[in-house]
Amino acid sequence: MNIRPLHDRIVVKRIEEKETTSSGIIIPDSAKEKPQEGEVIAVGKGKRDDEGNLVPLDVQAGDRILFGKYSGSETKLDGTEYLIMREDDVLGVFSK
């Protein structure tokens, strides 16, 4: 992938949900919601504070994150869908 996010933006690839429930019921495509979990693919260098100092991001490439339902802008590169969002849109990072 040849994209480098700027400032406090990150590139995220959604993690697809399972197509069946725990009881074995298959969920049709029309009833599925877009997943709110993803893997961070790339991060920007950070945001500048009021004094001009660079503040690095808390998330890193490879982190698994939880984000808001309507967060970010969708884009498609090389046939794969990605989200580009600000670090502020991240609700949490799953521990490894």
CATH number for the domain harbouring residue 85: 2.30.33.40
Share of the chain above pLDDT 70, in %: 79
Q: What is the pLDDT of residues 8-45, one digit of tens each?
A: 999 999 887 666 556 666 666 555 566 689 999 999 99
C-alpha–C-alpha distance, residues 27 and 12, integer Å:
24
d(C-alpha 95, C-alpha 86), whole Å: 20
Residue 4 lies in a domain: no
Could you tell me which residues come within 8 angstroms of residue 33 by beta carbon, excluding any fewer than 6 positions away? 69
Strands 47-48 and 54-55: antiparallel
What is d(CA 39, CA 72) in angstroms, rounded to the nearest whole number? 14
Q: How many domains does the chain have?
A: 1
Q: What is the distance, to the nearest Å, from the Cα of residue 78 to the centroid of all Cα atoms in its chain?
A: 17
Q: Which carries the bigger pLDDT value, residue 4 or residue 32?
A: 4
- Range of the structural domain that residue 34 is part of: 9-17+25-93
pTM strictly above 0.85:
no
| Residue of 32, 36, 2, 11 whose CA lies nearest to 20 | 32
